[in-house]
Structure 1
Amino acid sequence: MNKYLFGFLFLFSAMLNAQTALNGIVKDASTNKSLPFANIELDNGTKIVSDVDGKFHFVSKENFTTFTVSFLGYEKKIFTFNNIYQTVFLSKKTDNLDEVIVSNENKANKLIEKVIANKDKNNPQKKLNSFQFSTYNKLLVSANPDSISGKIDSVFVTTSLGKMFQKIDSSDYKFKKIIDKQHLFLAEKISRFQFAKPTIKETVIGSKMAGFNEPIYEYFGFELQSFSIYDERYELFETKYKSPIADNSLAEYSFKINDTVSIDNRQTFVIHFKNKLKRKGLEGLLYIDNQNFAVAKAVMRVRGVLNITGIHEFSYYPENDIWFQTKKNFKIIKGKSKEATSILGGRISFEADTNDGNQNTKESSDFTYLASETETYNVQFNTTVKIKKSFIAVDVKEDSIHKNESFWQQNRNGKLDLRSSNTYVVLDSIATANQLEKKIRFGRKIINGYLPFGFFDFDLRYLLSFNNFEGFRFGIGGVTNEQFSKKYKIDAYTAYGLKDETVKYHLGFAARIGNFSNTWIGASYTDDIREIASTNFAIDKRVFKLYDPRPINISTFYNHKTWRGFIETKIIPKTESIWQLSHSEITPLFGYQFDYNGKVFDNFNITSAMVSLQWNPFSDYMQTPNGKLEIEKRFPKFTFQFTKSLPNILENDFDFGKIDFRIDYEKKYLNGQKSTVLAQFGYAFGALPLTHLYNTSPNNLTKDNLLQRITIAGKNSFETMFFNEFFSSEFAMLQLKHGFKRIEIFKKVKPQLVMVTRMAWGNLENSQRHLGIEYKTLEQGFFESGIELNKIFKGFGLSGFYRYGPNQLRRLEDNIAVKLNFVLDLGLD
């Protein structure tokens, strides 16, 4: 009997120490509309705020019996706590509310003006010379078990005989059972932040991710919410919005004082802001110190198909008269919207909610949320801060995944709860049983165009292609992967053209000699063909395409047998570069001869040195144990390539040089539009055959009928320029594009309109040297403009271009090009 009594007392004690959850919504008593950002104060002194939908959820470790709800212009009311979902109704005050609202709006605008005027005095990155602090971050995907009924339902279908039983639906029951014991996903991270004007750097010293022996490092580069509330553009889940305290924010946002509260014994005004120009814009609360006009707390919210919230909490440091951020919270839950929602900077879109409001059944996804909480500790101001490798924004230490439990206990704010501990145990075992890491690795390879098989990744680009010279080209090839070695790799391919009946092949070897710089040294031999006068930057990243449109229509190639030695490295900050020496035996595969110094060449040898370098000065990089990653792509980007022949070495026939330069610029607008600019220049000097000059990427067939010229558009090619129409030894090209937001015509027909203009100028020195081919030059310039309708249906689109200017052709239809296009958008920019 005593043991049963002891068990009962233990259970009762556990219940007394359990956390108490307060859930509900605040509404207007007369209109039944929700009241966003209402103030809620528990009788134990805790203060919370309802969200943008008037909903509130709070878990308290301390007991309470009543709570008070207040909202500007409404009567304050006290409610008794109970364990059910509580709908709170407030009634409007009887005084002249309109005058109060107008007065508060005017006063709020004046306060915001003062906040903007004092931003530099209150922004830690402007006011302080240096600071450093540590953070503990916990990210989880979970659900609140109390919100889920856990019922086992009977599913009926309607037939001619009436409603008939079909099956038992236990999914809700199973989900509640799982979520009651664990989270769906969990990751933890310990970081050290250092700031010394103007550089800020994060060093990850500890990391854990449930289900993974090695974390997915790209997660560390995600910007869930802005680091600073003072940024001109505030960021939520890598989507940027104009900040409510940007310099001209009063033109875009409306402000209203909701209340006054005390934070760290300093009086603050609670200001509600809302975008008055956009229905789905940023909305939230700003807590403004009424003495120095700094932000003491901020709640930022965007609602749509997904409701996304970012909260910034600050502590006041009187010795520095500064509010410094000590806590960040980020949360995503499922919302309702009749408009589509985009996240991750527009790369991923969610369709509008089609629920008409008559359906009360909720699925598991309705209760699931993603939450991230970051706590700051060990804050130090204006101390000596030395930032090593400052060009690295995030540095993930190699031993970060090997920290023991004592390290985590020392750096966590308290112990992990039982659900979190169970999450690691369960997900680790599930991941092992289902080979999750292997499947993710397989998916990554496939997206990049590789099919992994043991220690070798087969390159899907080599399987099948087509051009006018080879006809159908079949091949096989690839590269060894990390299962073979992380220090060495071998790449190879072989291909065969049905039309030219010739075998092509390549074999290469490389060794990694630097981990931090990701430096490889290697050599290769290639016997293959290449388009004449094509400009390739060796440093350009490999791009996998389901198809490559331009080679389909190309018929003029040259064969090259090339020995190559190279060094590929990222040792120079914010650059990637390739340095190489090569020797090629060149044979033109069309009727061409090169007349030089009284000798006519049908084939020739070229020995050259080359450096190809891309510089991304404004991008952010992350260093991981597996290499360097560009985590924040910013523009402009600059690419430079210099090639110089080496006279009298390995029977080199010509003395020449080539300088190539490219500028890429891209600007994304807050309204979803995007502009891009591409400028490219090339200059060749000395004795250089036509095979190695410039053709400025033409993509039009020499056919009389417009319909016969309909092919697939290239990415940056001149769609109205005919193949082999122009050649240059020096050229300049400019491309301007502007893409508008996608327009929904029908449910599945949502084209994106893109306006395009391209222009090029060029010149050809010593044109008399090139025999056997007719061509024109670009002294007078080449101009075309057009419209692309991209992604009309499942990535397929249509485009049309018109050629004008000095090189316009006599027949109208010869100046028009109609092209099909296909855009495969995986959100992997």
Structure 2
Amino acid sequence: MKLFCFLTLFFTLTLQAQIQINGIVTDSNNKPLPFATITTSENNSTITDIDGKFIFKISTSATSVTVSYIGFKTKTIPLITNKKFYAVTLLQKTDDLKEVVVSNENPALTIIRKAIASKSLNDPQKKLKTFEYKTYNKLIVTANPDSINGRIDSSAAYKDLDKKIIHIDSSDYKFKEIISKQHLFQTEKVSQYQFGNNKLKETILGTKMAGFKQPIYEVIAFNLQSISIYDPKYELLETKYENPIAGNAPSNYAYKLLDTVSIKGRDAYMIYFKPKRKRKASRLEGVLYIDKENFAVAKAVMRIKGVLDISGVHEFEYIPKDKIWFQSNTTFKIVKGKNDDDIKILGGTIQFDGDVEENFEPRKKVASDFTYLISESNSFDVRVNTTEPIKNASLYIEIKDDAAQKPESFWEAYRKENLDEKSQKTYVLLDSISVSNRIEKRLGIGRKILNGFYPIGPVDLDLKKIISYNNYEGFRLGLGGITNERFSKNYRIEGYTAYGTKDGAFKYSLGGGVLLDKHTNTWFNGYYADDVREIASTVFAVDKRVFKIYDPRPINISTFYEYSGWRGNIQTKIIPKTEAVLEVSRNYIEPKFDYLFNLNGRLYSSYIMTTAVLSIVWTPFSDVMQTPTGRNEADKRFPRFTFQYTQSLPNVFANDFTFSKIDFKAEYEKKYLNRQKTSLLLQAGYANGDVPLTHLYNTSPNNLTKETVVQRITFSGRNAFETMYFNEFFSSQYLIFQIKHGFDRIKILKKVRPSLVLVTRMAWGSMENPEQHIGQEYKTLEKGFFESGIELNKIYKGFGLGGFYRYGPNQLKKFEDNIAVKISYVIDLGL
């Protein structure tokens, strides 16, 4: 969701760039010199990129720039009024660089090893117990007007010397005209960072987003780059890469000593690093400036170059009293990289055109080639070893209620420099453009669609309720929705109705809720429902709604029970990193298949259940964001634990049975730097007392009872046993374990890039009091159930294929009966 909102803003809004000089630095053979140092006469500096190119914002009072590179003669270039491009050629020195490190190995590697060994002494989050500071951040999406050809291109067609058709292309002209006057998008933020007890909290004091009355909180929480340069996994645009000063980095990176320079009055080694092996997407390229005395990072440039060219720069100030380099400024930039494939995100709403047409002729440059994003943060008011306690320390980000309503005097106090005329116009013009083009509304609609809703006035239409299919109801046609903030921010009404074409019955639900506390998302809700549900299915009340255009597994389910009655619950996030639901319900249950429940000689074909349920999900390592509208999970991390306890209430509202159930789920996911991923799932349940089969466990089977493998081909389920037949096993206590390992996508053809996933599942279970269940034949899982398989997902346009094999004690006699072939479909939004 964060990435969706961020990229939507990045690519759908139009921005402007500032005046700057640019150029290229090469040697006498016209080969580019990467990471050459460029310093102005006012002692401001930058470096060239991997291609020897640079873009440098300079003061109007600067008179010259000095270009230096290890092994080459330093050159000073005078700045000429109105000249913006400089091609600089450096001549090689005849004398060699005097190495300050005497070693038989690469001197750069020696320096890096010392920097790695000294990390705990130089990392502020390791060396200092507490600290705090403030930052001012400004983010714009823009383009350099001087890079764009502003002519209006025209062409004419003639027939018999008569002009018939004139084609006019004015897109570049209009684009240049816009970015010469205003930025396309702009946002500002002032934050206070506090560190203590090994936790870093950001409190957003003020935020301002051009074109939006209320800021988009997902964009605010978007992690452009790692805050700490010492993180073992360095992050750029929410993608993690191996840090060049991580413990194992020397085995994966090559290092080269470029120069010795002065940073903030202290001598530093300038070390270039790159992956040892080409085409390693999990590794960075860039330059580290290592302090000669304490081997701390005094400046860093981190870059990844591919479809998008992304770079992050960290600058530091040295604090003599504490003998530590503390981060002072960061810069993050995205431009289009080298790419010959069109990049389409969200069905083409966001698009980068490829560099080569199918006929291999160079195409004309378009807006996406010139547009870039730049985010700059300046730190100030740094205080170390503070004693003031951190309020709500468990929160990762807290946005103050009045953060979006700060007066202009607030921003003037925190800005490093006043907004120029273009930036001032951006807020005014984008606010009006946002209204006229309904940008804020369209973004809100997109966010809701991803969650399965479409807003129509004060009601969000539930897309999941429109149509579905299963073997009992046939086609289930329905209509449902929930009121949104246009109806009320403190109350909601929701409901749905549906009709099954096969069972010929209507189903419905109607309910509502009242907000008790917006900061902790605490709601009191009440519902009445008359509907059907799969027998023996496990439903965690706290599980998040998952929206799919189709839900494949229920298609082949034929055994349901009807439930009708009411339920009331309280849902809350009052404890950070948890979400809880406490619910009481009373339902009339009627199995819609041949089944009787035997309790002390009395046979029940229907019954009443009054129960209380406590459901809690705990995410101890996730980052939580507190916004003026509630708490959200800013960064989903693993492991995640879900616990649920169900207790029947004897003699309450004519309840028929006495029982209790305990359900547990643990999820873990590990993403590797080589784009592989391992997922683990452990789930268990225990039912004690007199529990009908409808409310026991079936361990999620997903195989049809057909003769041949071809007849059994159907869609794969989510965490389902693909070779286990429907209604084959039932349990009153069970345990399942699943492990999946996904590899990076393999490019076979341009549009055929499958993702290989290895899957293994196993389950154990038993049934207490099997004599109570009459009419349904089934087996039990005391000996265990085992299956493994291979999935080739997203082979073409989201479609994939999987094969699974059943083995172990419950293996079937016929070989082909143990095989299941499944079709998968994954909607790829390009995020």
Aligned residues: 807
Shift, 1:341, TM fit: 9.3
**Structure 1, 432-441 or 189-198: larger mean CA deviation:** 432-441
1 CA distance for matches of 2:508 and 2:120?
61
How far apart in 2 are the matches of 1:698 and 1:64?
A: 72
Match of 2:430 among 427, 430, 437: 427
Q: Which of the numbers 712, 716, 734 marks the counterpart of 1:709? A: 712
1:47 alignment counterpart: 45
Q: Is the 8 A contact 2:712 2:820 kept in 1?
A: yes
TM-score norm. by structure 1 comes to: 0.93
Note the 1:119-518 alignment, pairs <5 A: 119-155=119-155, 166-279=166-279, 280=281, 281-337=283-339, 353-354=355-356, 359=362, 361-518=364-521
Give yes or no for contact 2:581–2:615 (8 Å, CA) kept in 1.
yes
Q: 1:409 to 1:43 in 2, by over 3 A?
A: closer
Is the alpha carbon distance of 1:343 and 1:121 closer, same or farther for their aligned partners in structure 2, counting shifts above 3 Å? farther
For 1:501 and 1:699, locate their aligned partners in 2 and report how far apart those are by CA, in whole Å. Answer: 25
- For the pair 1:726 / 2:711, whether they are aligned, the reply is no
1:319-376 superposed Cα distances (whole Å, 9 cap, x missing partner): 11111001110000112146999999xxx99897547996374322222110000001
CA distance in 2, matches of 1:157, 1:667: 60
- Cα distance in 2 for residues equivalent to 1:19 and 1:553: 60
Change in Cα spacing, 1:181 to 1:340, as seen in structure 2 (3 Å) is closer
2:776 maps to 1:778? no
CA distance in 1 between partners of 2:800 and 2:160 (Å): 45
Q: Is the 8 A contact 1:40 1:69 kept in 2?
A: yes
Q: For residue 711 of structure 1, report the CA deviation from its aligned partner.
A: 0.9
Q: TM-score if structure 2 supplies the norm length?
A: 0.93
> Partners in 2 of 1:724 and 1:503 — Cα distance?
25
Letter in structure 2 aligned against 1:609: A
Give secondary structure in 2 for the equivalent of 1:222. coil
Task: Sort the Cα spacing of 1:120 and 1:770 in 2 relative to 1 into closer, same or farther, 3 A.
Answer: same
Q: Distance in 1 between matches of 2:152 and 2:288?
A: 44
1:24 aligns with 2:15: no
* Alignment of 1:584 onto 2:587: yes
Residue 3 of structure 1 corresponds to which residue in structure 2? none
Answer whether contact 1:305 1:350 (CA < 8 A) is retained: no
Q: Return closer, same or farther for 1:155/1:342 CA change in 2, 3 Å cut-off.
A: closer
Q: Which amino acid aligns with 2:51?
A: D
One-letter code of the match for 1:286? L
Query: Is 1:491–1:507's contact at 8 Å kept on the other side of the alignment?
Result: yes
Output aligned runs, 1:800-819, within 5 Å.
Answer: 800-819=803-822
Distance 1:736 1:157, change over 3 A: farther
Cα distance in 1 for residues equivalent to 2:161 and 2:779: 79
Displacement of 1:161 after TM fit? 11
Say if 1:173 and 1:593 are closer, same or farther in 2 by CA, change over 3 A: same
Secondary structure of the residue aligned to 1:422 is: helix
Alpha-carbon distance in 2 for matches of 1:823, 1:446: 16
Question: 1:366 aligns to what SS in structure 2?
Answer: helix
Three-state SS of the structure 2 residue aligned to 1:709 is coil
Query: Do 1:104 and 1:257's aligned partners in 2 also have CA atoms closer than 8 Å?
Result: no
Q: Distance in 2 between matches of 1:351 and 1:792?
A: 23
User: Does the Cα contact within 8 Å between 1:22 and 1:57 map onto a contact in 2?
Assistant: yes
Q: Is the 8 A contact 1:305 1:340 kept in 2?
A: no
SS in 2 for 1:383: coil
Q: Does 1:652 align with 2:651?
A: no
Q: Deviations over 1:243-292 (max 9, x none)?
A: 11111211111111111111221111111111112434301111111111
Report which stretch shifted further, 442-451 or 227-236.
Answer: 442-451
The correspondence of residues 66-77 of structure 1 with structure 2, limited to 5 A, is 66-77=64-75
2:790 to 787, 791, 802: 787
1:702–1:226 CA distance, 2 compared to 1 (3 A): same
Aligned-pair distance for 1:134? 1.0
Q: Contact 1:784–1:804 (CA<8 Å) still a contact in 2?
A: yes
SS at match of 1:708: coil
- Residue 328 of structure 2 contacts residue 379 of structure 2 at CA under 8 Å; is this kept in 1? yes
- Of residues 672, 675, 687, the one that matches 2:675 is 672
Instruction: Give yes or no for contact 1:304–1:339 (8 Å, CA) kept in 2.
Output: no
Query: Would the aligned equivalents of 2:339 and 2:354 in 1 still touch at CA under 8 Å?
Result: yes
Which stretch shows the higher mean deviation, 429-438 or 789-798? 429-438
Unpaired segments of 5 or more residues in structure 1?
1-17
Matched residues in 1 for 2:375 and 2:156: separation? 40
Percent pairwise identity: 57
1: CA distance, partners of 2:612 / 2:390: 37
The secondary structure found in structure 2 opposite 1:768 is helix
Report the equivalent of 2:107: 107
1:616 aligned residue: 619
Amino acid at match of 2:293: Q
CA shift in 2, pair 1:158/1:551, >3 Å: farther
Of stretches 507-516 and 432-441 in structure 1, the one that deviates more from structure 2 is 432-441
Match of 2:691 in 1: 688
Residue 44 of structure 1, CA deviation: 4.0
Report Cα offsets for 1:773-807 as digits up to 9, x if no partner.
Answer: 11000011111111111111111111111111111
Q: How does 1:92-103 map to 2 (within 5 A)?
A: 92-94=92-94
- Give the equivalent residue in structure 1 for 2:560: 557
> Aligned with 1:410: secondary structure?
helix
Inter-partner Cα distance in structure 2 for 1:519 and 1:43? 59
**Residue 464 of structure 1, CA deviation:** 1.1
**Alignment partners' CA distance in 2, 1:253 and 1:340:** 31
Partner Cα separation in structure 1 for residue 438 and residue 768 of structure 2: 61
| Residues in 2 aligned to 1:49 and 1:618: alpha-carbon distance in whole angstroms | 37
Which segment drifts farther, 237-246 or 255-264? 255-264
Measure, in 2, the Cα distance between the counterparts of 1:527 and 1:553.
22
**Aligned equivalent of 2:89:** 89
- The DSSP-based 3-state class of the residue aligned with 1:440 is helix
Unaligned runs of 5+ in 2: 1-16
Letter in 2 for 1:135: T
CA contact (8 A) 1:195 1:385 kept: no
Distance in 2 (CA, whole Å) between partners of 1:497 and 1:739 is 38
Letter in 2 for 1:248: N
Determine if contact 1:208/1:215 at 8 Å carries over to the other structure.
yes
Which shows bigger deviation, 352-361 or 123-132?
352-361
Deviates more, 1:616-625 or 1:151-160: 151-160
Name the CA shift for 1:718/1:631 in 2 (closer, same or farther; >3 Å): same
Task: Quote how far apart the aligned CAs of 1:22 are.
Answer: 2.2
Computed over aligned residues only, the root mean square deviation of the Cα atoms, in angstroms, reads 2.6
Q: Which amino acid aligns with 1:114?
A: K
Query: Which segment is superposed worse, 637-646 or 70-79?
Result: 70-79
Could you tell me how far 1:81 is from its partner in structure 2?
3.1
The aligned amino acid for 1:49 is: I
Query: What is the alpha-carbon distance in structure 2 between the residues aligned to residue 65 and residue 326 of structure 1?
Result: 26
Corresponding residue SS for 2:525? strand
Equivalent-residue separation in structure 2 for 1:117 and 1:300 (angstroms): 20
SS at match of 1:671: coil
Deviation at 1:394, TM superposition (A): 0.4
